[in-house]
Structure 1
Amino acid sequence: METVYQEPPRPIQDLRVTVHDTSLVFPFKPVPNKPFFLSNIDKVLNFDVQTIHFFLAHVEFPPDKVAERLKAALAKILVHYEFLSGRLKFNAVSGRLEIVCNSEGVGFAVASSECSLDDVGDLVYPNPAFEQLVTKSMDILQPDNQPLCIVQVTSFTCGGFAMGISGNHATFDGLSYKMFLQNLAALAADKPLAVDPCNDRWLLAARSPPQVSFPHPELLKLDVPQGQDSSRPLVFEDTPEDLDFKIFKLSPKDIAHLKEKAAKDAGSSGGPDSPYPKVRVTGFNVVTAHIWRCKVLSSCDGADGGSSKSRSSTLLYAVDIRSRLEPPLPQGYAGNAVLTTYAMATRGELEEWPLGRLVEMVTEGAGRMTDEYARSVIDWGEVNVGFPHGEVLVSSWWRLGFADVEYPWGRPRYSCPLVYHRKDIILLFPDMITSSPNGGDGVNVLVALPSPEMAKFQSLFHKFLA
């Protein structure tokens, strides 16, 4: 086995960033001024997400020219994504969160760092200093009038630069955000849109009347007084904790080994006589099953006489529903089209079951997400206020492909989320080199836990990988 975790490097603590200019970018042509409907999936995701895209120096595109190109491309793209230059508002009459398409603009900032990209070091490893590469709010605007998107271009002394983007998750999911980046890159190169966006969120509206046709143990109902703004659930607030964090690196060879272990559990033929004939052995499924087991067992201290073995654990992970609906959503659907599915097992089962059985549980969770089940979840959100709730959430940025977007100045050296450490959330994201000679790709697993639990997680990670 290869080295499976990376000791924290000593990242530079201060990138010495100076913001030179902030402004607003408006659509270069008028867009309709009207309320913009948000689906029940969108409204649960009313929180900001930041991504950072690092680029090496390019002779033809120094950072100042990149900033000019991006600013012009943003003005063009806002015509195609008319909601993006609007503002979130809570409609007290309908009791719904919506976007007012008032063309009040997106934010744009130009900054410079006194460091080079070599000074920054390992771009894969989360660095608190990366916050300096993102503008999260515009000081020139009131708190209730902030843009849904802010772009910051930060130049480094080596000629490289970072594009940091802060955006409200209600606007995009990972796949539609990649399409947005592809379109932004195309317009920056004076090319046609790569994908025509479909902005019709009514495609994921609840049925009338709502029909909650399945139990939904993955969803937690909140008691919110009628008419009260519940558009920012407290579940997304960070709780201060003293956490260690590590990145566990799984190489293509490691992942192939896990897949081989799981396939053996399913029987060599995978036929009807095998113990787990339904198991779908994919990279995501085996990695998720592996870290679910390690995470849950790392919190068992053994001092309860074994009673914790009967306690149930709920694993949550996202499933794209675009192709699962009848009819499928348009290819360019520009909103949130992912729902959280789940797998459940007791701690005793997670300890005793072979990997193939756990992979089957993860597979069944994704298979549960049919058209009818997805519609039931959406309808649940129409009659209830709540959110997905479980013990472990696996958030995967592994294969979203942000680093594959081709800009006029080349592809990003690396693309990553701005990471906030939460013990209940495990992040999967790609390595700097995403492909290998055998056609596989590795993954980085970011884990944040209290120190004693981290030591146990690390031991279990080795144990179950062997």
Structure 2
Amino acid sequence: MLIKGYTNIKIRIPKHAPNFRMGTLNQSPIKSLISKIIQDLKVTIHDTINIFPSHETEKQSMFLSNIDQVLNFNVETVHFFVANPRFPLQIVEEKLKSALSEALVVYDFLAGRLKLNLESQRFELDCNGAGAQFVVGKSEFELGEIGDLVYPNPGFKQLVQKSYDDLAIHDRPLCIIQLTSFRCGGFAIGVATNHAISDGISVKTFLENLASLAADKPLATTPCNDRHLLAARSPPQIQFDHPELLKIPTGIDFPSPTVFDTPEGELDFKIFKLTSNDIAHLKQKAKDEPFSTNAKITGFNVVAAHVWRCKALSYGTDYDPERVSTVLYAVDIRSRLGLPPSYAGNAVLSAYASARCKEIEEGPLSKLVEMVTEGTKRMTGEYAQSVIDWGEVNKGFPNGEFLISSWWRLGFADVEYPWGKPRYSCPVVYHRKDIILLFPDIVGESNNEVNVLVALPRKEMEKFEDLFHKFLA
């Protein structure tokens, strides 16, 4: 089950590991890959300042939906740029600061702080103009020296300034941007935001607006900040069963450490690359097998089905064919509830698919694709509103064996800044065995390939890897 727990897990890279295959075509020694990765980027912070809205904004408390309420943790992304002679670092810094100040007028909550309303016991956004934070740093390395940007290097943590855990929650900035230069003239923009204020889609919209303002252009999209659009109904109407949600009994707090905290050194970490040929092969395989018209054979659905099968059958030490495995994956509900595409809060819920391990092992891939498809179709507007109402009545969180978190098609690397598009964009990864991440490839190399990031105990990883290639054949 997935419950709240955000303690970072440190990964032991297995020195004993032999070659591991990325997809069906590529084989690369893990030692060779790791030897090219510098984990200490030797970043020195030179300046930290507050950025305030360029115009006075209204002081107000902003409502947070039940989806926002359970996402009080930071999400950090890094966006890498090659050197552009027309935009030296000083110009980039000036343009970013100015653009952020302008953006904070329409994104006034980003300059605010999170606070707990003691009467309602709900989090709210205090739009008090306290400011976002801008950090300037410098690495001793060139961008080309730090290794494969697709590989989620633990050193990338140095490129994003974290919120300050030693501060009271109402004093922590909700948006922190760090500009880190490399010796070659390339640079990284690290963005840290509290997940309670936005999902990946709305962060991309914010970055598009930031890039547009940095180019002295108007906003690309005017954000919709009305979070009451996702308020629960009064009275709440829970119209469906929600096995994908775990109710926490009243008076019971979350365990510390949480059930998913794994001691240092107990997880192996690998990236499995699925080429465009691999994905086409999985699609064709699903079409050739006994096929249901309910199955929507898309790139994401076949990859999710394949990963689900491997994760379910590698789980634990003893295989139990009757054990039920549940995979969770995000679905955008904006169109389902008639929200504007520019809705700036969290408008993503967890869809799910469940099956016994025996069915997952023996059934055709097309059946798993069908179940993933049905999970997405289940998320109608009525179902999504029922989930929101469930959160009004219950204290709880998504509940499943693991979550597939896809950054594959978010398009962060498509954002056009004055100095060009990012060479690569990625989240700063904290390895958890209950989350499998899907990453795109480097811009310009392939838009159809996906990197599957997996962190598991050694024995489970060995089984996962064997199954990954077995079911890909």
After TM superposition, the score normalised by the length of structure 2 is 0.91
Distance change in 2, residues 1:59/1:419 (3 Å): same
Match of 1:323 among 324, 329, 335: 335
- Give the 5 Å matches for 1:207-226: 207-225=233-251
Tell me which residue corresponds to 2:469: 462
Count of paired positions? 446
Tell me which residue corresponds to 1:388: 398
> Which structure 1 segments of 5+ residues have no match?
268-275
In structure 2, distance between residues paired with 1:37 and 1:225: 25
Match of 1:188 among 214, 233, 258: 214
Distance change in 2, residues 1:235/1:104 (3 Å): farther
Residues 82, 186 of structure 2: 8 Å contact kept = yes
Q: Could you list the per-position Cα deviations for residues 361-411 of structure 1 after superposition, in whole angstroms to 9, with x for gaps in the alignment?
A: 000000000011000000000000101011021000000000000000000
Deviates more, 1:14-23 or 1:142-151: 142-151
In structure 2, distance between residues paired with 1:434 and 1:284: 20
Tell me which residue corresponds to 2:26: 3
Shift of residue 237 of structure 1? 7.5
Deviates more, 1:49-58 or 1:129-138: 129-138
Deviates more, 1:424-433 or 1:281-290: 424-433
SS in structure 2 of the partner of residue 316 of structure 1: strand
Tell me which residue corresponds to 1:240: 263
Shift of residue 249 of structure 1? 0.3
- Give the 5 Å matches for 1:117-128: 117-128=143-154
- Give the 5 Å matches for 1:91-110: 91-110=117-136
> Which structure 2 segments of 5+ residues have no match?
1-23
In structure 2, distance between residues paired with 1:367 and 1:251: 27
Shift of residue 236 of structure 1? 9.9
Match of 1:351 among 354, 361, 384: 361
In structure 2, distance between residues paired with 1:161 and 1:188: 16
Residues 316, 394 of structure 1: 8 Å contact kept = yes
- Give the 5 Å matches for 1:268-307: 276-299=292-315, 301-302=317-318
Match of 2:61 among 10, 24, 35: 35
Distance change in 2, residues 1:143/1:5 (3 Å): farther
Distance change in 2, residues 1:434/1:246 (3 Å): farther
In structure 1, distance between residues paired with 2:119 and 2:359: 48
SS in structure 2 of the partner of residue 195 of structure 1: coil
SS in structure 1 of the partner of residue 196 of structure 2: coil
In structure 1, distance between residues paired with 2:39 and 2:114: 34
Q: Identity across aligned pairs (percent)?
A: 62
Residue 264 (str. 1) matches residue 288 (str. 2): yes
Q: Could you list the per-position Cα deviations for residues 116-157 of structure 1 after superposition, in whole angstroms to 9, with x for gaps in the alignment?
A: 011101000011111111110359965640100100000000
Match of 1:249 among 248, 273, 277: 273
Shift of residue 434 of structure 1? 6.0
Match of 1:368 among 373, 378, 396: 378
In structure 2, distance between residues paired with 1:297 and 1:433: 33
Residues 97, 134 of structure 2: 8 Å contact kept = yes
Q: Which amino acid aligns with 1:117?
A: L
SS in structure 2 of the partner of residue 170 of structure 1: helix
Shift of residue 266 of structure 1? 4.3
After TM superposition, the score normalised by the length of structure 1 is 0.92
Q: Which amino acid aligns with 2:309?
A: R
Shift of residue 13 of structure 1? 2.4
In structure 1, distance between residues paired with 2:263 and 2:126: 34
Match of 1:312 among 319, 324, 345: 324
Residue 429 (str. 1) matches residue 439 (str. 2): yes
In structure 2, distance between residues paired with 1:421 and 1:139: 20
Shift of residue 453 of structure 1? 1.1
Residues 6, 248 of structure 1: 8 Å contact kept = no
Q: Which amino acid aligns with 1:67?
A: E
Q: Which runs of 4+ in 1 moved over 6 A?
A: 232-237
Tell me which residue corresponds to 1:206: 232
Q: Which amino acid aligns with 2:428?
A: L
In structure 1, distance between residues paired with 2:307 and 2:382: 30
Deviates more, 1:129-138 or 1:43-52: 129-138
SS in structure 1 of the partner of residue 270 of structure 2: strand
